Amino acid sequence: MKGDLLLRGFLWELGAFLLLGAMARAAEPRVEAFGQVEWRAVFQGVEHTSVVLTEPRPMRAQVLRVRLETPGLSMVATPDNGEAPGETTGQRTTSFLKAQACQAAINAAPFDLVSSLEGKPLDISGLQISGGKVVSPDNGYPALLFLKDGRARIQRQPFPGPDILEAVSGFQIVLWEGKTVATDVKLHPRTGAGVSADGRTLWLLVVDGRQAGTSEGCTTVEMAGWLKVMGADSGINLDGGGTTTMVVAGKDGKPVVLNRPVHAGIPGMERPSGSHLGVRARALPAPESVR
């Protein structure tokens, strides 16, 4: 009798384990969708794609793939605000793109004060470097680094200070040496970045969230899987939530918001951020027929 009870208990636990595993697999997003996307060149060295998923929930993502060794291409992080209060001054991503003459931009590091107004003094959480100058000191967060040799790197401290041109911090590394190390399964709008093993290719990813039936957010585990299937070897979760925004310069030079930010719970409303990361790149060559 005791043996039968032990066997039944074992079988019940095994069945529960297999059921949970099946449920987890069923809940996995279509990772392969990110490996089969069609990229569209938007600037020299910069390509864009968008992904719409219905399983395991509605999600909309925007991705930029940046070839860092492209001639004329450079990165820029939000600079300090000089003698003004705080480390930086809050800007919407559209305003940052215009002010820094970028062709693409995303929100980047977390910061201290959420506001609907631009121009507020803000302090950044974690390392930020702009033009080789430290804007915000290291606080233990990992960071996305752009080095003097033209390559990018995601790493924890200690950071190679003299070799860094631009840097933005993030909450946690989600992908490391091709393996998912993320654990957060909460759903939020997300902003993330991935870097290839050779440091020459950068992926910038935003996923909208908090918009029922349209895009309900993703986990950092999902983010890691998507970055990996696109080719990244390492990945970092940057500031997200209502700050998540991706912008590119339109044909007329005016900013175009690619995703749907959700500041203050209002879909389509941008949030001023204390930290951004921008891409400066040359325009695509004109088609032969119009030269």
Q: Is residue 2 over pLDDT 60?
A: no
Number of folded domains that form the chain:
1
- DSSP secondary structure string, 85-154? SSSEE-B-HHHHHHHTT-SEEEE-S-BS---SSTT-EE-BSS-EEETTEEEE---S--EEEEETTS-EEE
Helix/strand/coil for 264: helix
Q: Is residue 10 over pLDDT 70?
A: no
| Count of other CB atoms within 10 angstroms of residue 237 | 24
Q: Is residue 6 part of a domain?
A: no
Q: Give tens-digit pLDDT for 237-284.
A: 999 999 999 999 999 999 999 999 999 999 999 999 999 999 999 999
Helix/strand/coil for 4: helix
Q: Which helix (H) or strand (E) holds 224?
A: helix 220-230
Q: Is residue 109 over pLDDT 50?
A: yes
Mean pLDDT check: name the lowest of 6-15, 68-77, 268-277: 6-15
Expressed as residue numbers, the domain containing 61 is 29-283
Q: Is residue 288 part of a domain?
A: no
- Gap between the Cα atoms of 58 and 81, Å rounded: 39
Q: Give tens-digit pLDDT for 80-101.
A: 999 999 999 999 999 999 999 9
Tokens encoding 222:
């999902």
Helix/strand/coil for 220: helix
- Gap between the Cα atoms of 8 and 28, Å rounded: 30
Q: Is residue 59 part of a domain?
A: yes
Q: Is residue 201 part of a domain?
A: yes
Amino acid sitting at position 160 = P
Q: Is residue 61 part of a domain?
A: yes
Give me the pLDDT at residue 247, please. Answer: 98
Q: Is residue 5 part of a domain?
A: no
- Gap between the Cα atoms of 238 and 143, Å rounded: 9
Q: Is residue 15 part of a domain?
A: no
Q: Is residue 258 part of a domain?
A: yes
Q: Is residue 289 over pLDDT 60?
A: no
Give me the pLDDT at residue 3, please. Answer: 52
